[in-house]
Amino acid sequence: MKPKSDNVLTFPKPLTQQEHRLGRGSKINHPGVILASTFKYFTLVLACVVVLLPLLVIFMASFKTEQEFYNTPVLSLPSNFLNLQNFSDAFTGGLMLQGFANTTIILVFSCTGTILIGTMTAYVLSRFNFRLNKVVSGLFLLAALIPGVSTQVATFQIVSGLGLFNKISSNIILNLGTDVISVYIFLQFLNGIPRELDEAALIDGASFLDVYWRIILPLLMPAIATVLIIKGVGIYNDFYTPFLYMPGKGLGTISTSLFRFIGPYNAHWEVICAGVVITIIPTLVIFLFLQKYIYNGLTQGSVK
């Protein structure tokens, strides 16, 4: 046995193949190892508490009556978990229902559009040897440099000049027009698929449209899933675009209708809390079901 190191991250025993890939079996009896292990779990649990506590406080407050809210400590359980009054207030009075409807419309059109536009662009850029392809690729690459957050001052003038201000289409078209990441994900994926597949179909007499629709699109499915996750999460959480372009009363999205709670419900934090819970629940459900895809998709999107 090697001498014990005083570093908490140092484990003295060598690892066998049967044990966990990078890990170690359960026969840990060294005091240093126990200390290190305790510290490890302590910090992990602490981090989880830090993450969960603010959410837990909100969650509990959302079930409290107004009376209860002001007279009980923040960390106390609500007296009745079936008190859904705040939720119905948030849904109807706070127009969250409308927010969900608008966000859904934006999501459906933006995602469909992004996938069509992105795959079509990637198909032409990857498979057709046009002389202008390099220029077009360059334009998309260069556009990735321009952060949307900085150009809104001027984008606003264009959107209002086109008469799209205060229309739901403004958000959809901006989601489509400023999306470069999707094109790149598709392009990269497509460059990894051998050309022989679609060339064979062309030789068999298929048209380019057939090849795109029957071969390229189905092959791109994993990339489409990635793009859907990146775009879906991005659009659901987008505050900036609807805030700037859709201030109209009936045009709230999830983000902006929740944001508008701050005025009328300023004194009603229990309703605001319910609004927050309503906003988070769809995200939580999606996350629980698509965990693996979400990890891969989102981290991929940020690397590109």
Partner 1 sequence: MANNSFSSSSFTYKRQKIIIGILFLIVPLILLLVFTYLPAINMVLYSFTKWDGFGTVDKYVGIQNYIDIFTKPEYFSVFGVSLFYFVGSIVQIALALYFATIVSFNVRFKNLFKGILFFPSLINGVAIAFTFLYFFQPEGGLDTVVKALGGSNTPLWLGERSLINISLTGVSIWRYMGFNFVMFVGAIQSIPSEIYEASELDGAGRWQQFLYIILPGIRLILTLNLILSIKGALSVFEIPYIMTGGMNGSSTFVIQTVNTAFKLNKVGLASAMAVILLVLIVIVTIIQNVVLNDKEDVQKL
Q: Toward partner 1, which CB reaches closer, 54 or 194?
A: 54
Among 115, 215, 258, 268, binds partner 1 (CB under 8 A): 258
Buried b (16+ CB within 10 A) or exposed e, 166-198: ebbbbbbbbbbeebbbbbbbbbebbeebeeeeb
Of 165-184, which residues contact partner 1 (CB under 8 A)? 173-174, 176-178, 180, 183
22 binding partner 1? (CB under 8 A): yes
293 binding partner 1? (CB under 8 A): no
CA 60 to chain centre: 25
DSSP labels, 250-281: GG--HHHHHHGGGTTTTT-HHHHHHHHHHHHH
State in angstroms the smallest separation of the CB of 188 from partner 1. 8
47 binding partner 1? (CB under 8 A): yes
57 binding partner 1? (CB under 8 A): yes
**Residues 105-134 vs partner 1: string with x where CB under 8 A?**
------------xx-xx-xx---x-x----
State in angstroms the smallest separation of the CB of 221 from partner 1. 19
The single-letter code of the amino acid at 130 is: F
208 binding partner 1? (CB under 8 A): yes
215 binding partner 1? (CB under 8 A): no
91 binding partner 1? (CB under 8 A): no
Of 217-246, which residues contact partner 1 (CB under 8 A)? 233, 236-237, 239-240, 244
Q: Toward partner 1, which CB reaches closer, 85 or 304?
A: 304
Task: For CA atoms 208, 211, 213, 218, give the dihedral sign.
Answer: negative
The closest of 117, 108, 101 to 232, measured between CA atoms, is 108
Q: Toward partner 1, which CB reaches closer, 74 or 77?
A: 74
143 binding partner 1? (CB under 8 A): yes
Nearest 5°: CA angle at 285, between 297 and 78? Answer: 140
Using the rule CB under 8 A, give the single segment among 83-91, 193-201, 219-227, 251-259 that binds partner 1: 251-259
Instruction: Tell me the C-alpha distance between 302 and 208, whole Å.
Output: 32
State in angstroms the smallest separation of the CB of 112 from partner 1. 13
Tokens found for residue 260:
């508008």
Q: Scanning the structure block, which residue is given the tokens 């051998």? A: 194
Q: How far is CA 135 from CA 3, 128, 139, 166, 235, in A?
A: 63, 13, 6, 34, 29
Using the rule CB under 8 A, give the single segment among 67-75, 88-96, 104-112, 220-228 that binds partner 1: 67-75
Q: For the chain, report the end-to-end CA distance as a whole number of angstroms.
A: 46
State in angstroms the smallest separation of the CB of 284 from partner 1. 7
Total binding residues for partner 1 by CB under 8 A? 105
